[in-house]
């Protein structure tokens, strides 16, 4: 149980184009999803927190107009990198927190990540 998928697993795009990354909780409902960015050999950096049906909360320094997040349902959140530039190249990871109450409701489950390369 508690599987989170991401699509695509990797993407190469030209500078100036937009890229959408999907994050799905496959066997549970997620009221909250998180988007992280990770550079090589570094820790995860939280970009934003999204709650189903409401606007995402962005971390300081993260451009909300550049990184559009939509959490349209309890199983799907999307991150769109708009007008991508080479400096946006990174590894993007989503995670989801289960909606159900219980002893492990605080645990986040992570997707496999998406490698983005902007040329």
Partner 1 sequence: AQTVTQSQPEMSVQEAETVTLSCTYDTSESNYYLFWYKQPPSRQMILVIRQEAYKQQNATENRFSVNFQKAAKSFSLKISDSQLGDTAMYFCAFMTSGETSGSRLTFGEGTQLTVNP
**For tokens 């606007």, what's the residue?**
55
Kindly state whether residue 97 participates in binding partner 1, applying the rule CB under 8 A. yes
Kindly state whether residue 46 participates in binding partner 1, applying the rule CB under 8 A. yes
The Cα–Cα gap between 80 and 106 comes to 26
Kindly state whether residue 49 participates in binding partner 1, applying the rule CB under 8 A. yes
Binding test (CB under 8 A) with partner 1, winner from 25, 32, 75, 90: 32
**Contacts of range 62-69, beta carbons closer than 8 Å, 24 or more positions apart:** 67/35, 69/35
- Chain residues 59-88 in contact with partner 1, contact rule CB under 8 A: none
Binding site for partner 1 (CB under 8 A): 32, 34, 38, 41-44, 46, 49, 57, 91, 93, 95, 97, 104, 106-110, 112-113
């Amino acid at each position: 149980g508690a599987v989170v998928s991401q699509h695509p697993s990797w993407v190469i795009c030209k500078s100036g184009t937009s890229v959408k990354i999907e994050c799905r909780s496959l066997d549970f409902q997620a009221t909250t999803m998180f988007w992280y960015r990770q550079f090589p050999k570094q820790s995860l950096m939280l970009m934003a927190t999204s709650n189903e049906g409401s606007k995402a909360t962005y971390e300081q320094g993260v451009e909300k107009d550049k990184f559009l997040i939509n959490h349209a349902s309890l199983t799907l959140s999307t991150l769109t990198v708009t007008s991508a530039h080479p400096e946006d190249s990174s590894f993007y990871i989503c995670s989801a927190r289960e909606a159900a109450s219980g002893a492990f409701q605080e645990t986040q489950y992570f997707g496999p990540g998406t490698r983005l390369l902007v040329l």
